[in-house]
Amino acid sequence: MRYLARSVSQPPEDDASVRSKVALSLAAVYLIWGSTYLALRFALESFPPFLLGGARYTTAGLVMLVVARRQGLRLPTAGDWARALLLGGLLFGVGNGLVGVAEHTISSGVAALVVATTALWSVLFAALWGARPTRLELLGLVLGLSGVALLHAGGAFEGSLAGFIAIVIAPIGWALGAVLSVQLRQPPGAMGAAVQMIAGGVLMLGIGWVADERLLPITASASLAFLYLLVFGSFVAFAAFRYLVLHARPALASSYAFVNPVVALLLGALVADETLTPMHLYACLLTGGAVLCVVRARKA
């Protein structure tokens, strides 16, 4: 859970323990977040994208709210909920919901490659608040957009204009939500994450209702995929990432951004018989290089 702070009452950990936990946390973030794209594909067999995301994030947010209250954090105010509706709508409604829309027509590996451009869009939005991009970040932008252009030229989105538009807008929404999260006042600790998830989840349920989304017959694979996304994607991986933020170098903690697409591509090819061509690998190298440029620029 990304926003949980380490308790001051915990005894300090020795170096060997920290190193082993960092390694386990890296493995969790790489494998779990990399596999969520494939899990989403299986969940979409029965659950439409916005009802799926709404159920997932509303449930996760309510659990986090209970945890936050047990930690003694105050309940959110009306203003907190209003800001959370904007942030949750961008992060989850746009950032996650449109990925589900796109995966109806494009492969999970290609979706993961395009979503990796989130870091690049964050650079552009941060510039609106005075954080001028460095040359290395601008190089990252060029490389990342080149990777998306290569996927488009190689036919990864052929016959799926709606899927292409959705998967391009999704990381833009997530990046804008992430940048605004720094600018707007939020409840502290886990409560901030909880209200964003609940607000975003309820908004996604509303979108699903307005769009007249309907559940299909529930399959065993879709049910298991939903549980995997809820438990591992929403809780375990976030807890692992939070540990990395507290105990690892920023470049190492951010490295999931260019590892996850590789994991998604390989799992999609091995488990779901998705196409894996040299074009996908070249795009993966371009996107990975782009994110690496941004991570190194931030470190500097």
The mean predicted confidence, pLDDT, of the chain is 85
- pLDDT above 70 covers a percentage of the chain that reads 92
- Specify the higher pLDDT residue, 262 or 35: 35
DSSP string, 242-265: HHHHHHS-HHHHTTHHHHHHHHHH
Q: How many CA atoms lie within 13 A of 84 on its CB side?
A: 25
With a CB cutoff of 8 Å and minimum separation 6, the contacts of 233 are 32, 33, 36, 39, 56
What value, to the nearest 5°, has the Cα angle with vertex 161 and ends 283 and 111? 40
d(CA 154, CA 278): 10
Q: Is the pLDDT of residue 157 over 80?
A: no
Please give the pLDDT value at position 5: 39
Is it the case that residue 142 has pLDDT exceeding 50?
yes
Confidence bin at 65 (pLDDT 50/70/90): very high
pLDDT band at 7 (very low <50, low <70, confident <90, very high): very low
The count of other CB atoms within 10 Å of the CB of residue 160 is 16
Give CA angle at 139 (137, 143), nearest 5°.
115
Angle among Cα 236, 1, 203 to the nearest 5 degrees reads: 105
Question: For residue 249, what are its two tokens?
Answer: 């170098």
Average pLDDT over residues 187-209: 91
Token duo for residue 270? 């091995």
Give the separation between CA 84 and CA 91, rounded to whole angstroms: 10
Question: Residue 192: what residue type?
Answer: G
Distance CA 116, CA 264 (A): 11
Q: Please state the rounded mean pLDDT for residues 226-239.
A: 89
Q: Are the CB atoms for 229 and 263 separated by under 8 Å? A: no
Q: pTM score, two decimals? A: 0.84
Model confidence at 185: pLDDT above 80: yes
Mean predicted confidence (pLDDT) in 42-66: 93
Q: Please give the structure tokens belonging to residue 12.
A: 């300090």
The continuous run of DSSP H or E covering 132 comes out as none
For residue 2, pLDDT over 60 is answered with: no
pLDDT score of 31? 93
Tell me, what's the pLDDT at 3? Answer: 41
pLDDT digits (tens, 9 = 90+) for 248-259: 776 677 778 778
Which of 9-18, 28-37, 153-162 is the least confident region?
Answer: 9-18
Window from 166-170, 216-220, 268-272 with minimum mean pLDDT: 268-272
Task: State mean pLDDT over 155-164.
Answer: 77
As a whole number, mean pLDDT of residues 76-86 equals 93
Judge residue 152's burial from the number of C-beta atoms within 10 Å of its C-beta, 0-12 exposed, 13-18 middle, 19 or more buried: middle
Give CA–CA dist 256/275, Å, rounded: 23
CB-CB contact of 207 with 100 (8 Å): no
